[in-house]
Amino acid sequence: MPETLEAGPNPVSTDRWKALLGFVILAGAGVFMMSVSWLKWPDLVDDFGEQAYIAWQLSEGKILYKDIAYLYGPFSGYVHAFIFKWFGLGLLTLALFNIGVVVALSFLIYLFIKQTSDGLTGTACTLAFLNVFAFGQYKGGGNFNFVCAYVYELPHGVALSLVTLYLFSKFVKTGDRPWLMGVYFMAGLVFLTKPEVFLALALSLPVGTAFALHGRSLDKKTWALNIAGCMGSFLVPPFLFFLYLAFHLPAGQAFNYVISPWIYVNNASHLALPLYQWVLGIDDIPANLTRLFAYFLLGGSIVLALTLIQGTLNRRPRVPKTISIGLILLCAVLMDLLLNKIPLLELPRPLPLFLLVLVIYYLNEIVRKKNPDRKALLIQCTFTLFSLALLLKIILNTRIYHYGFALALPGTLVFIRWVLYEYPRHNKFIGGPAQFFRAAVSVLGLVILAHHVVLNYQVEGLKTYPVGTGRDVILDYSPQFETRGPIVAETVRYIQDTIKPGAPIATLPTGNIINYMTRHPNPLRNPTLNPVEADIVREQQYLENMRSVSPPYILLVDTDASFLGARYLGKDYGRNIYQWIQIHYSVEKQFGQAPFQGKGFGIQLLRKKSSAKQ
């Protein structure tokens, strides 16, 4: 009889169980974060209301830029208009669609990272996206998440860019031209989102493409065909949108609207605003540089300490596993204590410096042509260069909140992949297996994630007051912390009960969420009038539009715009506009405090005086 062999562990079966466990962890994390933040994603008054309002108006047949002025690309507005057209109006409808975007992006991140690393690294990166970026809120207000964004073109642009880079990785591996055409078609879609996102792609993708094509030793004709194909594929989305506008406007004007976001972004006067100085970190360059290098040294010290421990364990192979486990737990406790002493939200500050060093390393390895993993290096180099370019807007004040919820995402993924997979795999100092190092890094990462989740839970827990009805409900801060929830809710009810349905209401300087919730359109071409938009549009032009429209109602919503360089409408900017309103309109109803007085939040509904001359 033949000898009976004992069945050993099946690697395929083990991989399946690991994949299933990873899926369960990610699904659980996503469901938990969604439940914690449910209906609490947007800010009640600022920014997001304009996003919902524009989507509603486009679904009703208005033309972006022609009927509604907008500073960014058209992609998100028209996608959301399509969603409203087919699935009905509702803020929840909008949120559910973008939760679907989060789910799709989670799968993409896992596949993209895993293809040049392993399942653990892919799971860790996806977990970071779900727990830190997708639903996170770490400061007051809202809007800085992937579900209800202050400007949807930013998260949508980043998501489309990740799709673009994933397709690029397929091209690098296969060399097939259809993948390359797909890459540049997606880049054309990114062009229709937000300028800083496309700029990051434009700085990185041509570099990666040039190296990829150069490595294939193509003749001049094939080079020319590839370049022509790239340009043609890229131009398809902008050209189609141009044709759409050209049906409604003169061709020259349509072309100007297609490139109008770039005209806005080139306005150097914005750099003088307190908001943009803080965003860039140029408000206090010495202090921000000090923090950047300090946190870079802190992160480097932690990595070095774990490296030395791993090297020591490798030189003593008979160390009991309990010692390794004890050391990992000790590291977790020390990290928890550290995070209680330093600002959690400061941790991403060294990302630009780290990415710059990594890009230089990758380029050097690619140029040398001696590395057998050249294709993987090219994929990572292009992704890292994109991540670095995306941080230019927050270069000296890099963070995961505010704009960082999208801008810092790719860079964070690069770092996680490097520290969890690339560094322990190639490090000569470890001198052997890196199980302890990877386990310790994973545990430390979980501690950092836990602190983010707890902070997010605490902030979201303050939002308990419902505003709106049905699919338009938003949970705002409890009245004991913030009075605006009850005031906005009372305003919405009053308008719905007393003003004829569909009657136009000009809302300024912000607050178009009220127009959307009550289904009363804003007749002005510019739906908001903050100091930046007043500078771009010119106040006289805005006033002329208001005179020509002569809306029957005006809604004044209290807003302090100090961070944009001028505090109150009528006092610090828009004086002629405010004066004209006071002459031609009278107060019908006031909710809360009088707006723009600094005495607290309030809203005034004004009715046009019947005897007033325009």
Q: Are 161 and 190 in contact (CB under 8 A)?
A: yes
Q: At what angle do helices 91-114 and 153-174 cross, to 10 degrees?
A: 30
Closest CA to 351 of 402, 379, 389, 306: 389
Cis peptide before 195 (omega within 30 of 0): no
Q: Are 351 and 391 in contact (CB under 8 A)?
A: yes
Average pLDDT value for residue range 271-280:
83
Average pLDDT value for residue range 291-311:
94
pLDDT confidence of residue 558: 95
- Has residue 3 got a pLDDT over 50? no
- As a whole number of angstroms, the distance between CA 430 and CA 320 comes to 18
- As a whole number of angstroms, the distance between CA 505 and CA 516 comes to 11
- As a whole number of angstroms, the distance between CA 150 and CA 139 comes to 14
- As a whole number of angstroms, the distance between CA 48 and CA 71 comes to 14
Question: Please, which pLDDT band fits residue 358 given cuts at 50, 70 and 90?
Answer: very high
Domain locations in the chain as residue ranges: 12-459, 483-608
Q: Which residue has the tokens 């992704």?
A: 383
- As a whole number of angstroms, the distance between CA 291 and CA 349 comes to 7
Q: How would DSSP label each residue in 323-336?
A: HHHHHHHHHHHHHH
pLDDT confidence of residue 366: 87
pTM: 0.94
Q: Could you write out the three-class secondary structure of 37-56?
A: CCCCCCCCCCCHHHHHHHHH
Mean model confidence pLDDT for the chain: 91
Q: Are 200 and 149 in contact (CB under 8 A)?
A: no
Question: Please, which pLDDT band fits residue 313 given cuts at 50, 70 and 90?
Answer: confident
At 83, the amino acid letter reads: I
Listed range (146-150, 313-317, 349-353, 408-412) with the worst mean pLDDT: 313-317
Closest CA to 358 of 416, 445, 319: 416
Tokens of 187: 């880049």
- As a whole number of angstroms, the distance between CA 558 and CA 509 comes to 8
Q: Are 73 and 191 in contact (CB under 8 A)?
A: yes
At 324, the amino acid letter reads: S
- Has residue 455 got a pLDDT over 80? yes
- As a whole number of angstroms, the distance between CA 492 and CA 508 comes to 15
Cis peptide before 433 (omega within 30 of 0): no
Tens of pLDDT, residues 53-84? 999 999 999 999 999 999 899 999 999 999 99
- Has residue 269 got a pLDDT over 70? no
